[in-house]
Structure 1
Amino acid sequence: MSNAKRAGLARKNLDKRLGFLRDTNLTRPPGGWIRAIRDALGMSSRQLASRLGFSQSRITPLERAEAHGGATLKTLREAAEALDCTLVYAFVPNKPLDQIVEDRARSKAHDQIGTISHGMLLENQSMTKAQMNEELERMTRDILAEPISHLWDDE
């Protein structure tokens, strides 16, 4: 199996596993997950501190750090376990991975067309909008036929 096919299969598999998360409006509560779960369980900061092996004075800074994105994954995992929860860590693509790849290829093609179009304009040979769109699609297909790793080179 070629690298391109393997990458395409990996994209499809990841999209299947993560797609439902993209459609879920899962936002962190204003005070953070630790505080929200702790409050919902009726657990005091002293009780959580005891379960974590911390002093009570560390809980408020921990909850504040988590709410503002400053807690480490290790600490979040420990807090989740102390709250009888599972920490879920994932990167959720904003759109299907195939679409991200295609959009990147189209963007690179658009940049190339801009350079070509400018040169043609200087030579008094401009393309119509339809010709530009047709060339954009052709170049996008050509770029997608190349090894996928070239998509991410910034030239």
Structure 2
Amino acid sequence: MSNAKQSGLARKNLDKRLGFLRDTDLTSPKGGWIRAIRDALGMSSRQLASRLGVSQSRITPLERAEAHGGATLKTLREAAEALDCTLVYAFVPNKPLDQIVEDRARSKARGQIGTVSHAMLLENQSMTNEQTREELERMTRDILAEPIGRLWDDE
């Protein structure tokens, strides 16, 4: 199987697994997940500390660190286990992965067209809007036909 086909299949599989999360509200509670779950369970900071094997004075800084993005994955995983939860860690694409790839190809094509259009303008041979649109689509298809690794090179 070619790299392009493997990449396409990988994108489709990841979109299947993660796509539903794109439409899910995953914003963390104001005080963070640890505090929210602990409060919902009626668990005191002393009780959580005992379950984590740390002193009670470590819980407030842990909750603050988690709420502000400063907690490590290891610490979050340990806290989740102490709360009888599972830490879920994922990158959720903002749009389907195929769309991200196509948008990148179109962006690169726009950059190339900009260079060509400027040169043509200097030679008094500018393209119509329709010609520009058609050329953009052709160049986008050409870029997508190249090895996918080149797509992310900045030129």
* Shared fold per TM-score greater than 0.5: yes
- 1:78-134 Cα distance to aligned partner (Å, 9 max, x none): 000000000000000000000000000000000000000000000000000000000
Residue 146 of structure 1: aligned partner: 146
Query: Alignment identity in percent?
Result: 90
Residue 32 of structure 1: aligned partner: 32
- 1:42-75 Cα distance to aligned partner (Å, 9 max, x none): 0000000000000000000000000000000000
Structure 2: segments with no counterpart, 5+ residues: none
Residue 137 of structure 1: aligned partner: 137
1:15-54 correspondence runs (5 A): 15-54=15-54
Residue 91 of structure 1: aligned partner: 91
Q: Equivalents in 2 of 1:8, 1:149: separation in Å?
A: 12
Structure 2 length normalisation: TM-score? 1.00
Q: Equivalents in 1 of 2:13, 2:117: separation in Å?
A: 38
Q: Equivalents in 1 of 2:53, 2:87: separation in Å?
A: 19
Residue 78 of structure 2: aligned partner: 78
- How much does 1:25 deviate? 1.2
Q: Equivalents in 1 of 2:127, 2:145: separation in Å?
A: 25
Secondary structure at the residue paired with 2:92?
coil
Q: Equivalents in 2 of 1:39, 1:101: separation in Å?
A: 42
Q: Which residue identity lines up with residue 61 of structure 1 in the other structure? A: P
Residue 8 of structure 1: aligned partner: 8
Alignment RMSD (CA, Å): 0.3
User: How many residues of Structure 1 are paired with residues of Structure 2 in the alignment?
Assistant: 155
